[in-house]
Amino acid sequence: MSTTYQLDTATSRANPTPQPMRRLTVPSIAQRKKNGETENPIVMLTAYTARQAQLLDQHCDMLLVGDSLGQVIYGLSSTIPVTLEMMANHGAAVVRGSYHAVVVVDMPFGSYEGSPEKAFESASWLMKQSGAAAVKLEGGVAMAETVRFLSARGIPVMGHVGLTPQAVNALGGYGARGRSEAEARKIIEDASALEDAGAFAIVLEGVVEPIAIEVTREIGCPIIGIGASPCCDGQVLVTEDMLGMFDRVPRFVKRYGDMGAMITEAAQTYAEEVRERSFPGADQLYQPKPD
């Protein structure tokens, strides 16, 4: 029996509620891929709040507390300014709001690149503060030593290769990767290095499909695609993107809803009713008790 937290609508407080299922584990995710194939694709979405986690949890195998919260939640221009404290706070909220999915938290830019020891200090603090099951970091061959160092010390690591948003300044933008032979070869080498170092899964972002297929076939751990290929062992999207919360729709995103329009319409209706004094109505008011 594991525990999640349900919001008490009367008090807006989170109360623990037992759930009749056990939380998935990092080994159970890694073992989805057997003999190079994943019969049951891995479902992963981003989550940043307890309530969002509650709504997504039963449908997902993994919830990613991505550093994309820099843009999605805080309105930053990139993920670069995101801090460990931001990731820890949002990670803890997602853990409290979930009971089924494996919660993975991104390590923000500057918190792990300096040395394996620095990465361990950051990752261990992040896991203690959030309660997450694993961390994710960007980089391939250059980060293999760090992944090996963390994995050997009990910290499960998800890798991230291809388009790596934290390196946007070095990459010169968010364009797809793997179009040149040299770039394609590097993506394959990066994924192989992470697998050898002990990564339990790897996010493969923004690469041309033939390379995504090749990586998925050649690498033994699960490959989670985003803008890659349906042949990957699983998929991940930023939840706000697929719910239609932003006007811009990246090429690799499919909109499964139009929550942005729904919120705008609801706010417009509320504003109209306030201005015409039709809200609050009788159903929303308190009256004196009769004598």
Neighbour count for residue 92 (Cβ, 10 Å): 19
- pLDDT value of position 272: 98
**pLDDT given for residue 17 in this prediction:** 56
Contact 218, 192 (CB under 8 A): yes
* pLDDT of 159 above 90: yes
Residue 281 included in any domain: no
pLDDT at 15: 57
Domain containing 228: what range?
Answer: 2-242
Answer yes or no: is 265 within a domain: no
Structurally, the chain folds into a number of domains equal to 1
The reply, when asked if residue 67 is annotated as ligand binding, is yes
Q: How confident is the model at residue 21 (pLDDT cuts 50, 70, 90)?
A: low
Band of residue 168 on the pLDDT scale cut at 50, 70, 90: low
- pLDDT score at 41: 98
Do the Cβ atoms of 217 and 228 come closer than 8 Å? no
| Residues 88, 123: Cα–Cα separation, whole Å | 10
The reply to whether 286 falls in a domain is no
34 is in an annotated binding site: no
Q: How high is the pLDDT of residue 5? A: 56
Whole-number pLDDT of residue 170? 58
- Domain membership of residue 282 (yes or no) is no
Q: Is 136 annotated as a binding residue?
A: yes
Mean pLDDT over residues 129-136, rounded? 98
- How do residues 211-241 score in pLDDT, each as one tens digit? 999 999 999 999 999 999 999 999 999 999 9
**What pLDDT digit, counting tens, does each position of 144-157 carry?**
999 999 999 999 99
CA distance 105 to 157: 10
Q: Whose CA is closest to 200, among 153, 229, 149, 159?
A: 159
Residue 148: inside a domain: yes
Higher pLDDT, 250 or 193: 193
49 lies in some domain: yes
Q: What's the confidence (pLDDT) of residue 22? A: 84
Cα separation of 51 and 8, whole Å?
12
**Residues paired with 92 in a beta bridge:** none
The domain spanning residue 55 has which CATH number? 3.20.20.60
Predicted confidence band of residue 1 (pLDDT cuts 50, 70, 90)? very low
3-state secondary structure 45-82: EECCCHHHHHHHHCCCCEEEECCCHHHHCCCCCCCCCC
Is 190 a domain residue?
A: yes
33 is in an annotated binding site: no
Confidence of residue 19 (pLDDT cuts 50, 70, 90): low
Residue 126 covered by a domain: yes
For residue 291, say whether it is annotated as part of any ligand binding site: no
Tens digits of residue pLDDT in 28-83:
999 999 999 999 999 999 999 999 999 999 999 999 999 999 999 999 999 999 99
Active site residues: 205
Q: What is the pLDDT of residue 2?
A: 45
DSSP 288: P
192: pLDDT strictly greater than 90? yes
Give the tokens for residue 142: 């250059």
The tokens describing 243, both together, are: 């719910």
**pLDDT tens track for 2-14:** 455 555 655 556 5
Dist CA 124 CA 119 (whole Å):
8
